[in-house]
Structure 1
Amino acid sequence: MPTGKRPTLAMVANAAGVSLPTASKVLNGRGDVSATTRARVEEVLREFGYVPQAGRRMLPPARVVDLVFDELISTYALELLRGVTEAGAAAGVDVVVSRLSDAQRGGPLTTENGWAQRLKSSGREGLIVVTSELTLAQVESFTRAGLSLVVIDPLNPPRVEVTSVGATNWLGGMAATEHLLSLGHRRIGFAGGPVQASCSQARLGGYRAALDNAGLRSDPALVLHGPFDYAGGLEMGTLLLDLENPPTAVFAASDATALGVMEATRRRGLRVPEDLSIVGFDDTIMASVSTPSLTTIRQPLQDMGRVALRTLLRLIAGDTLDSHHVELATNLVVRNSTAQAKEE
């Protein structure tokens, strides 16, 4: 313990073996310091009897949550990111963004060495996970660590109690298919997302319900699944157009998928919408700037991000939610990628 003169924060940092900025973070209650380092600095602060300089304004501890994506390079992710960060800024909460593979890096998911423990030791209060596949073990590790969890469009909800935010996927799938039916299309393909994705399955359910209501049988040959991306749409579009009796219209389960189907059509020497009508799902910026502009089902992605952040903060505060599952309304946006079916 120093004698003779008033201890400074630099002296504390030196004695604790940390940098001055790290000591300052501990003093101000910042969350981005490991539990071990925090304990060491706090012990030295007590030993030195450190008192902040007169007039020094102590900052309140920063509140921090994680936002984890399976993939960040998409307009879908950027729209959600904007909604979450805007809501975080309004609530005075910092949002740390990462990819799922980066978040999980560092060892097996055990009580001693796992994703949840790393988040907790870094001062996180909770996390939002977007379109990712979570295991029951991961979810339970978050609960044990006292971390609140909200998922957006989960691929596989590991248990019913997990709080989720999404859109009215079933109704959106139905609206997309009914639009194509109203234009006279009867062979309508479905270019879906991953088979295990609950949002894709709901969109498929809406597609099938619309066909049933029209007295049409769903043809298994017209239903394909792939990733929610351009490459997946290109592959599925090619397969659908290769059929002996190809569809005259396609409902794609995402805008990125729809643009891939559009490219497959172009490569075949066909035109959209004259030869093939296409409907997407999301209404990202790419839908309005594509050529032709894409008819799509709009889901309010920014609002979904805002609701997810606000819901997470309610869970952290211990509030009782009216429902573990929140669905925001979708609506059809008609542009130039759909047209009346040709008379046969």
Structure 2
Amino acid sequence: MTRSVRAYLDWNATAPLSAAAQAAMRAVWEEGPLNPSARHRAGQRARAIIEEARETMATHLGCRPEEIIFTSGGTESANLAVKGAPVARYLVSFMEHPAVMRPAKASGRPVSLIEVDENGIVDLNALSRHLVADAADDAPALVCLMRASNETGVIEPVHQAVDIAREHGALIFCDAVQAVGKIPVDFADLGVDMLALSAHKFGGPQGTGALIVREGVELEPLLHGGGQERRRRSGTENVAAIAGMAAALAEVCENMAEKAKRLSALRDELEAGIRALLPEAVIFSKDAPRVPGTCYFAHPAWDAQTALMHFDLDGIAVSAGSACHAGKGEVSRALIAMGVPRDLAKRAIRVSMGPGTGKEDIALFLHSLEKLARRLKRSAA
């Protein structure tokens, strides 16, 4: 974290590298050059580190170690799941991340977009209708439904969607990038066929992630080469990053319920402060189940980019929705799908918290928001 940041409230964009991840990575680097494909002793040591990490992650994610494919992050995992699945068409929730939406559209296969309600929760009846319509006999469909929204934090009904998909012989892929480390994620319990995660969202290093693939699901590799990761993802594994990801996951999963309770309380405090200072503000998905620590809101009288600059000058790090879109000035597709007027959607600000967030961070944000609220009142006068 840079010294100019007084309150880091953009954890959904990236979490600070955890102490456990740093220690694990440093230990690997101190071992010297390690290539897990090499046959000598150093290579065997590298392979042992990777397989230990795979075991650790499997324990915390409710899957078998051999079901885990190590990747470069959430985007690659999503692309591998979507492009590599043996399917004839895609059914994609309007809430999905571009890393899911864009490869589906780029595949040349039919894509049906599944409607959501005003909170951003997928319409399960619509999912059923789309599965029935244009059904293909030669290959199943792939349903793409995230576990938790990167923007609103809303938790999707994945269990119910799995039941519907199974009735129609469809496969289901779950983008759990924003859920892992915030709420329990159990691959076997969810019943999905594939699940993606990204290390830097829960305190691991950037540039590494994983795709969990249920045993028996065929997958066409994106990358062809040396046949690493059981021929499902070629390329020399990043041993230190994988070790750091596993260590970060183990750390963030400790006492998760207590951490979630604390973050939910902080979010409630934050949202109470927002309503007190800006009664006209709209907090999205506030009545739906959300991961703890995410607040997405808008005010009809401000410009989101100007508000971001105000907070930044006060040393407060927040974002205008998805970090992938914030720098491009794009309006949130998810909010539009939720029925939010375009003029309000473009004014949205996301505040997201994590294990390192404290009451002092919320106080700093609300103090800065109070100054902004006074400016808005003067402008309206």
Higher relative contact order (CA 8 A, sep 6+): 2
Global fold match (TM > 0.5): no
Please report the TM-score for the alignment, with normalisation by the length of structure 2: 0.29
TM-score, L = length of structure 1 = 0.32
> Which of the two has higher C-alpha Rg?
1
